[in-house]
Amino acid sequence: MSTDVDTRSHIFWDEHLAPTATRELPSTFRDNDTFLDIEVPATDEMMDGVFGSLESVARLLNVTVDRDGAPWSGVFAQVSLAKDAAGTAVFVLTYRSTTAETDVQKLLGVLS
């Protein structure tokens, strides 16, 4: 995780875009805001079974968070297990921006 961690309010959405959870959690934007890494305590009930079933991951499929006064949305990319600055086990949920230009889109813009 980056050392530039801020605590933000995150809204998690399922595959039908129904809200499933809201949490104040530490998170870090990276790669020009293309990715968002969210640290969730391993003991958080939201994480029950996240490695064991597709239904658990589907509950966390999308996320919305405030970024500099504007909403940022992303889709689930991966989950890993790590330790936070205090040494406590956390799940790191990584989301990819749904609004960021892909490299192909950028290239097409340059070529046109």
pLDDT tens per residue across span 52-88: 666 667 778 899 999 888 899 999 999 899 998 899 9
* DSSP E strand stretches across the chain: 6-13, 19-30, 35-41, 62-67, 70-83, 89-97
CB 35 within 8 A of CB 28: no
Domains and CATH numbers, the chain: 6-111 (2.40.10)
pTM above 0.75, yes or no: yes
d(CA 85, CA 21): 24
Q: What is the pLDDT of residues 81-94, one digit of tens each?
A: 999 889 999 999 99
